[in-house]
Amino acid sequence: MNQIGSVVKVEGLTRRFGDFVAVDGINLNIGKGEIFGFLGPNGAGKSTTIKMLCGLLLPSSGKGSVGGHDIMTESEEIKKNIGYMSQKFSLYDDLTVEENIRFFSGMYGVRREKRKERMEWALEMAGLKERRGVMAGTLPGGFKQRLALGCAILHEPPILFLDEPTSGVDPLSRRTFWNLINKMSGSGTTVFVTTHYMDEADYCHRLALIYRGRIIAEGTPMELKERFMKRHVLEIEVERMVEALDILEKKGVDAAIFGSLLHVTVEDVAQGIADIRRTLESSDIQVDRIEQIVPSLEDVFVTLIEVA
């Protein structure tokens, strides 16, 4: 990660919709070539933030720049230097793969002599060479998303904004996708990506967690895990999970469901294991397994939200 100055820098970025404050005075500072992850649950303000950075939405207040251009006054300059991929597929369903690519290469003003090469590159990257004549609307989700990415980077923008690029995409396609993002970051592209998949956060160089319009934590994935998880995480396997959760929460224990398991946070591991076993078994709930685990970012997030 070669951080030469900041590519995205905002202070006090705020957006209100009537009385509702969607984004509440956030600060960001992102360097060149960084993959910056913007994490948070649905409705936390991720999309609103990304739209303000792309010049699609005017901030209510705050200041800053993207690629050296002012976010309040130079949105059209910003648009020359970015690629944007929206949360919802927003290419033309009634145009073929190739027609979409050609159209956007025109919109981005890709020079005539480079156009052919860039279009072929996008088709190759998206794995759509065989399907160039297919209507975009009929593509499966993973291909749609890669086509959208291809269209957004036809002009080789130095900054890329991706809004939930992997939502609704199968795990294999997600992996391919992240490999691609990594490659682009390696060649100097700054990537700002939002996601609500916590497991994807580990692909990012740096993260900000946003909750109810505010950034509640920021740092590298490792830093976040170390700094914010002073407490230890126990993973519990029980039969009657929901009931167990209920009992633990009544006792004041920090617990949450993770798939088919319960995660609880405790101050002391040995003491915690003993306490939880006793509590659950006194309610006739069989504990099949209980052990300490390395916290995931999701654990970090759950803990932070409970504090916030």
Partner 1 sequence: MKFLRIKAIAKKELIQIWRDPLSLAIALLMPVMQLFIYGYAITFDVNNITTIVYDQDRSSLSRELVAQFRESGYFSLIAYVDNYGDIDVYLDSGRAKVAITIPYDFSRKVRTGRSSPVEVIIDGSDSNTATIAEGYIAAISLRYPQRITTRTVTPAMDPRTRVWFNPELKSRNFIIPGLIAVIMSVVVALLTSLTVAREWERGTMEQLISTPVKTSELIIGKLAPYFAIGFMDMVLAVLLGVTLFGVPLRGNIVLLVALSSVFLFGTVSFGVLISIMAKGSQSVASQIAILSTMLPAFLLSGFMFAISNMPKPLQLITYIFPARYFVTILKGVFLKGSTLSLLWRDGLMLAIASALVFFLAIKNLHKRMD
Q: What residues make contact with partner 1 under the rule CB under 8 A? A: 51, 54-58, 75-76, 79-80, 82, 84, 86, 88-95, 99, 102-104, 106-109, 112, 148, 151-152
- Please name the amino acid found at residue 63: K
Minimum CB–partner distance for residue 17 and partner 1 (Å): 9
17-22 LR contacts (CB < 8 Å, sep 24+): 21/213, 22/48, 22/213
- DSSP strand pairing (61-66 vs 35-39): unpaired
Q: Which is nearer to partner 1, 12 or 109 (CB)?
A: 109
Helix (DSSP H) and strand (DSSP E) numbers for the chain: 10, 14
State both tokens at 186. 């390696």
Q: Residues with Cβ < 8 Å from 42, sequence gap 6 or more?
A: 196
Q: Which is nearer to partner 1, 104 or 177 (CB)?
A: 104
Q: Residue 130, Cα to own-chain centre: how many angstroms?
A: 30
Minimum CB–partner distance for residue 88 and partner 1 (Å): 5
**Contact, 265 vs 305, CB < 8 A?**
no
Minimum CB–partner distance for residue 176 and partner 1 (Å): 22
The single residue listed with the structure tokens 């990660």 is 1
Minimum CB–partner distance for residue 162 and partner 1 (Å): 12
Q: Which is nearer to partner 1, 54 or 297 (CB)?
A: 54
Q: Which is nearer to partner 1, 54 or 128 (CB)?
A: 54
Give the DSSP per-residue string, 170-188.
-HHHHHHHHHHHHHHHHTT
CA distance 44 to 58: 18
Q: Which is nearer to partner 1, 92 or 197 (CB)?
A: 92
Q: Is 41 helix (H, G, I), strand (E, B) or coil?
A: coil
Minimum CB–partner distance for residue 11 and partner 1 (Å): 21
Minimum CB–partner distance for residue 234 and partner 1 (Å): 44
Q: For 47-85, what is the HEC assignment?
A: HHHHHHHCCCCCCCEEEEEECCEECCCCHHHHHHCEEEE
Minimum CB–partner distance for residue 71 and partner 1 (Å): 12
Minimum CB–partner distance for residue 86 and partner 1 (Å): 5
Q: Which is nearer to partner 1, 89 or 258 (CB)?
A: 89
Q: Which is nearer to partner 1, 89 or 197 (CB)?
A: 89
Q: What is the DSSP letter of 199?
A: G
Q: Which is nearer to partner 1, 18 or 259 (CB)?
A: 18
CA distance 94 to 187: 34
Considering all CA atoms of the chain, what is the largest pairwise distance in Å, rounded to the nearest integer?
76
